[in-house]
Structure 1
Amino acid sequence: MKWTLPTLALVILVSLNTIAAPQKLPVEAFASIADVSNVTLSPDGQNIATVVKMDLENQQGSLVSIYNVASGESIYPVQTDNQKFTITGLTWASNDLLFIYAKFPAVRYGTPTTESRLFKYRLSDKNLSSVLKPKLLKRFKWVPQVQSDIINMLEGDENHILMQFRGLGNNSQFETVMKVNLSNGRSSTVQYAEKNVIDWTTDKQNRVRVGIYRDDTHYKIVEQPDNNEDYRTLWEFEAFSEDQVWPMGFGKDPNILYVQAYHEGYKAIFKVDLTDAKLTKQLVFKRDKVDVTGGLIYSKVKKDYIGISDGTDAEYTFWDDEYNGLINGLNKVLPDTRNYIVQYSENERRYIVFSTSSTDSGTYYLGDRDEKSLQPIAYRYKELLPELMARTTTIEYKARDGLAIEGFLTTPNDTPKTKLPTIIFPHGGPISFDNNSFDYWTQYFANRGYAVLRMNFRGSYGYGFDFMKAGLKNWGLEMQTDVEDGARWLISEGIADPKRICIAGASYGGYAALMAVATTKDLFQCAISVAGVADVEDLVKSHRGYTNFEIVKKQIGDDYDALYERSPVSKANNINVPVLLIHGEKDRVVDIEQSEDMYDALKKYNKPVEFVELEDGDHYLSDNADRLKTFHAIEAFLQQYLPTTKAM
């Protein structure tokens, strides 16, 4: 059997200046899981751990790879078929110890859940084991669903970490903080659970200082001087309100807390002196007309926060001039891509760069500030060469009520930009967003000859408070017409062929696709829903067994009659175009019953519908075989109902 793993030592990169003729790539080039993901550098900068795609004759899945920079050798200590469990992340605990995060679907008392676990691999003895030992788990009233929540790596102590769990003590529904020994698995309680406190934050002195208190939709940010002491309320607010304040981390000074809050209608970063009776927020970082998101980046060298980490691959954005200088240098060396530092070694002399664009799926580089070198180490999708991908441009159109909607238009290479067969592709979430970055779904459609429009309809994330608020309880209303107005704009601009437009989406995007063909006539010629919502009433009611039920009702609504009327399943008889439904049987975000009910409703009225069930599939198409099955089904569906060549 032959391994076909991405080489982490040497990657042959095709020049961006190469001119290539239009080329139809195989479905597998787009539909396979990434060749490389979760790239992380050890504290000493000597080892790079990553998750790589496993592709054997009779076995597929993912492997954890650990590549030694000095020797150029790799080891593969962990593998999974992405069905029993999926690797979700990697973190170095020390130079010798790698944490491996994993998830798998389960059912608790009849309620579908996603379970998370934390494993450790020690390089010195080549040993893989669970961080939590059976003896520790016996202390719990029930086995914790989440067993991977590290809240403090305890700098200077390589033998212990702080983790939080539910299932202990008198307030077992809420979080207890425990100190866990990484050698023998022993533990001790550091912070006892407090009623309604759902998350804890420590200061740089390793004391549990701040908690997030939630009662239904009401939040409080509480603070205590030390573990288990009486706490005071710093701020309180309602979910989705403009006066929300979220703790992000403590500075070196234990009285300085960094927070995220709204500034002139957009999220920004502030710091607050907790000894100040007025809790005055001092602005640290903001962006113009967009939200600041992500987590703080703490420099162990400068002993201060130097920026934020956000984006698809946790890209670094600095507010420190020294680090911005390094980014400016990278941009000169790599001028055709957006270049992000995504990790530093502990002394910040080595670093990982992720370089990407709308046509470049992403290249990882190892940088060395002392040697002044930049070495390519891996390409995210090795078959999706940049010169074969279609370019994306940022556009703007007006919704029917005049609201400006930002969109991202991708058109096929070397084709006239008029009267194109088109895919409207709204994002999931719906409190999520699209941007002018690489998207493998979009590139697949464009490679097949379709124009693709993605848009950030109202309610999308990142555009400030008013834009976010406009999406609350708005499923099937203006959020929906924003999507449809994007299709009409493409027609008015002469870009889309009005007789050859399909709408496709996943999760909420699947809902938008189904709702579009249920509420419009002659605008779309087909619809594709992957793990989509068909019954909004049922979606809300299905959260009754979860702790966020009240939040869901506040976001989506609780007028069940109205929600059903705004559900595609209630309007199946109005749909007169072919529909493709695809759904994983172990989807823990949108239950497969949503697609099953939609299929039954369409069949009842003899509507043209196909339903592809993914055995053991999850919401994110984590398994390579599920992605391939999904894309092959889409390929056949589009060839039948929306071919890219007009009939003669």
Structure 2
Amino acid sequence: MRLSPDGNKIAYMVAIKRPNQSGTAIALHDLSNNKRSYLAFTDDKEYRFSDLVWANNQYLLVDVVYPQLRKGLLVNEYRLLKLNVINKKMTGTLSASFLNDLHYVPNVQSVILDLLPNEPDHFLIEIGGRMYNAEPSVVKISLKDGEREQYVQMPYEDVRGWLTDQQGNVRIATARNKDEYTIYQVPANNKSIKDFTKLWSYQAFSEDVITPLGFAKNPNILYVQAYHQGYLAVFKVDLSSNDKQLQLVQDANKRDLTGKMRYSNKIGDYVGKGNTYWHPQAKAFKQELDSALPNLRNRIISSSLDENRYVLYSTSDTNAGVYFLGDKTTGSLSKIANKYNELKPSLMAEKQKLSYQARDGLKIDAYLTLPLGDKQKNLPTVIFPHGGPISFDNDDFDYWTQFFANRGYAVFQMNFRGSYGYGYDFMHQGIQAWGQSMQDDVEDGTRWLIKQGIADPQKICIVGSSYGGYAALMGTVKTPDLYQCAISFAGISDIEKLVKSHKKFIGYEIAKKQIGEDRNQLWDNSPLKYVDKITTPILLIHGDKDRSVKIEQSEDMFQALQSADKQVNYLPLPDANHYLSNAQDRLKAFQAMEDFLRQYL
């Protein structure tokens, strides 16, 4: 949901399911007359709406994603369309003359750099193709005709991203050469890399990382993210000073401070990050919201330019999510809609936060979800490691967990080493540790759950998607007697092939540093190598339009298992992506998982 700058309209994406029509619509709720209307629709089979944002009170900018084959490579194409909410016409944001002037057509054309609130008829984008060796350039685009108003000429081939100040001026360039990042201060004339001022440089996945986050209203004050006592925190730095000293703004008390930065137009400064606020006024208002809606995780996801009206999204482990419209002038908070109408809180199971010790003594946080009912011991259990792997599980609602719990299974999720949010040392222990210590953490969690008497040792299935799918497959290799079945959705079976698949992309050096580049070691930690040793029944599910993990990862595993006469089921999903964005794909996948779990647990 997105609130218009004047606070009078709410635009949102909504699932449509009718006898002859299924997909996603962009809808509009006019608060002035309480009327709702549909503006655009996609069946989600090829084209998918991934995001929307108000450019001004008349136009929505819509990010559209679709799969494409480029020179034999499977990629996602991203396009930015403008949607007139008055006449419901949707057109491209870039003019034909602009696109014709590019040296090549970049697959990513939807990165909004700055909406330019002081120039509501223009916005800035980052886009490649302007110069042969520079990716990307910054361009100012007219909403009226899609023509470029100006190029911000910054010919430097290693730049990967830019940052503007609150006045709309390009001020920061982030460059990367292989696995080394450099942060530059951009000069006012924007003409030559020679005039750029180097601020910081660091290696990927090092403790020296400094990430620019945004400028205060004062154009000399830059907020950055860096490590403080081993954990990510927010600092500010005065770029006009000689020493560029980092000053701590906020940390998270022995945790990484995560989430998006929160800027207040009214206050004229950043006031928080994620759900943590440091400005007294913003902090006090957040406390009021939490008092009004206790036992929920409350997040302001959109607000009017004057911040008098806002959309609040509230959720918890047992609440699938509800949207509220807030009005500061009246002090009111009114419900707009549930995220999932049919998922009643009474159907949901609570998540318990637990912890256990890995074999080397490292503390691992975990979440246990028990099915509703009186039985809490000796349960059929789903071990559910997360994807990423630099990601994390928390006590928010997630539909995978609630589905399994609803079908009578205990669900155990662990933040194994390498997970995000636990500081530098914890994250770094997951670098190049696929199939090794990270996998041991999953095994140790499973054995701990058995020892506690919660999991029936004869009824345990390991399930995961993406990296979690890899962990599920690797679990059948390293601990064949621990799991009675395994489910891998979009999982990796050959990590040597995974790293190699990045070779023609700009993230290749990062992939090698994160996962590894020793081909022998990568193959040694690939489930595909050990097919002959696998005795566990396996279900593979994969979308053939997956651009994050190629479907060949599951196809190769299926063919090898089938040739070795192993117990394996395979469900390829035509036109499905890595995220099961299409509702019909989700239903097929979850029906297959339910049938498989019923058979083996």
Q: Shorter-chain TM-score: what band? A: over 0.9
3-state SS in 2 of match to 1:514 = helix
1:277 to 239, 242, 245: 242
* Equivalent residue letter for 2:183: I
Structure 2 match to 1:49: 11
| d(CA) in 1 for partners of 2:163, 2:299 | 27
- Report the alpha carbon displacement of residue 127 of structure 1 after superposing the two structures with TM: 2.1
For residues 3-82 of structure 1, the aligned pairs below 5 Å read 39-82=1-44
Is the deviation greater in 187-196 or in 605-614? 187-196
CA distance in 1, matches of 2:166, 2:289: 32
**Equivalent residue for 2:297?**
338
Following superposition, the deviation at residue 395 of structure 1 comes to: 0.3
Q: Does 1:439 align with 2:402?
A: no
* Alignment correspondent of 1:467: 426
Once residues 138 and 503 of structure 2 are traced to their aligned partners in structure 1, the CA distance between those partners, rounded to angstroms, is 27
What CA distance in whole angstroms lies between the structure 2 residues aligned with 1:517 and 1:633?
19
What are the Cα deviations for residues 528-581 of structure 1, in whole angstroms up to 9, with x where unaligned?
Answer: 000000000100011111111011000000111111111111111111121000
**Partner residue, 1:186:** 147
Residue 243 in 1 paired to residue 208 in 2?
yes
**What is aligned with 1:524?**
483
In the alignment, which of 91, 99, 112 is matched to residue 150 of structure 1? 112
- Which secondary structure state, in structure 2, belongs to the residue aligned with residue 362 of structure 1? strand
The answer for the alignment partner of 1:362 in structure 2 is 321
The answer as to whether partners of 1:177 and 1:193 remain within 8 angstroms in 2 is no
Is 1:92 aligned to 2:54, yes or no? yes
Q: How does 1:472-511 map to 2 (within 5 A)?
A: 472-511=431-470
| CA distance, structure 2, for counterparts of residue 215 and residue 85 of structure 1 | 33
The one-letter amino acid paired with 2:469 is: G
Moved more, 421-430 or 148-157: 148-157
Q: Where does residue 177 of structure 1 map in the other structure?
A: 138
What is aligned with 2:564? Answer: 605
- Give distance in 2, aligned partners of 1:142 and 1:429: 31
Secondary structure class of the residue paired with 2:480 = coil
Please tell me whether the aligned partners of residues 519 and 574 of structure 1 are also in contact (alpha carbons under 8 angstroms).
Answer: no
| 2:324 aligned partner, one-letter code | Y
Query: In the TM superposition, what is the alpha-carbon distance from 1:334 to its structure 2 partner?
Result: 1.6
Residue of structure 2 in register with 1:20 after alignment: none
Whether the aligned pair in 2 keeps the contact of 1:200 and 1:212 (CA below 8 Å) is yes
Task: Name the CA distance, whole Å, in 2 between partners of 1:252 and 1:241.
Answer: 30
Decide whether the 8 Å contact of 2:490 with 2:554 is kept in 1: yes
Query: What is the match of residue 139 of structure 1?
Result: 101
User: In the TM superposition, what whole-angstrom CA distance separates every residue of 1:30-49 from its partner, at most 9, and x where no partner exists?
Assistant: xxxxxxxxx11111111111
In the TM superposition, residue 133 of structure 1 has moved relative to its aligned partner by 1.9
How far the C-alpha of 1:194 sits from its partner, in A, is: 1.2
The one of 509, 516, 524 equivalent to 1:557 is: 516
For residues 345-374 of structure 1, what are the alpha-carbon distances to aligned partners after superposition, in whole Å with 9 as ceiling and x for unaligned?
A: 111111111111111011000011112211
1:251-290 map, 5 Å: 251-290=216-255
Does residue 595 (structure 1) correspond to residue 554 (structure 2)? The answer is yes
Structure 1 unaligned regions, length at least 5: 1-38, 310-315, 643-648
Cα drift, residue 416 of structure 1: 1.5
Q: Which moved more, 1:437-446 or 1:325-334?
A: 325-334
**For each residue in 1:309-346, what CA deviation from the matched residue of structure 2 results, as whole angstroms up to 9, or x when unmatched?**
4xxxxxx4321222222222222222232222222211
Rounded Cα–Cα distance in structure 1 between residues aligned with 2:452 and 2:2: 45
How much does 1:490 deviate?
0.5
User: C-alpha separation between the residues in 2 aligned to 1:493 and 1:378?
Assistant: 40
CA contact (8 A) 2:39 2:85 kept: no
1:626 is aligned to 585
1:374 is paired with a residue of what secondary structure?
strand
Q: TM-score, normalised by structure 1?
A: 0.91
Any unmatched runs of 5+ in structure 2?
Answer: none
Secondary structure in structure 2 of the residue aligned to 1:486: helix
SS of 2:108's partner is coil
Q: Is the 8 A contact 2:21 2:43 kept in 1?
A: yes
- Can you list the C-alpha shifts for 1:112-154, whole angstroms capped at 9, x where unaligned? 1111111111223332111112221101111121111111111
Amino acid at match of 1:521: P
Amino acid across the alignment from 1:433: F
- Equivalent of 1:566 in 500, 503, 525: 525
Amino acid at match of 1:52: V
Distance 1:126 1:81 in 2: 18
Deviation at 1:261, TM superposition (A): 0.4
Aligned to 1:17: none
The answer to whether residue 163 in structure 2 is matched with residue 201 in structure 1 is: yes
SS in 1 for 2:501: helix
* One of 176, 182, 191 as aligned partner of 1:228: 191
**CA–CA separation in structure 1 for the residues paired with 2:104 and 2:28:** 35
Q: Partner amino acid for 2:265?
A: K
* Corresponding residue for residue 21 of structure 1: none
Letter in 2 for 1:466: D
Deviation track 1:176-221 (CA, whole Å, cap 9, x = no partner) reads: 1111111011102123331211111112222211101110001100
Answer whether contact 2:265 2:306 (CA < 8 A) is retained. Answer: yes
Conserved 8 A contact 1:169-1:192: no
1:294 to partner: Cα distance = 2.8
Tell me how far apart the structure 2 counterparts of residues 521 and 515 of structure 1 sit (CA, whole Å). 9
- 1:300 matched to 2:265? The reply is yes
Give CA-to-partner distance per residue, 1:465-498, whole Å, 9 cap, x none: 0011000000000000101111101000000000
What code does the residue aligned with 1:249 have?
A: G
State the match for 1:403 in structure 2.
Answer: 362
1:170 positional shift: 4.5
8 Å contact from structure 1 (residues 271, 283) kept in 2: yes
Q: For 1:415 and 1:91, how far apart are their aligned partners in 2?
A: 46
Residue identity (%):
48
Is 1:372 aligned to residue 331 of structure 2?
yes
State the alpha-carbon separation in 1 of the partners of residues 166 and 247 from structure 2.
20
Q: Distance in 2 between matches of 1:237 and 1:604?
A: 47
SS in 2 for 1:544: coil
Runs of 4+ in 1 over 3 A off after TM superposition: none
Residues in 1 aligned to 2:283 and 2:456: alpha-carbon distance in whole angstroms:
45
Structure 2 letter corresponding to 1:394: K
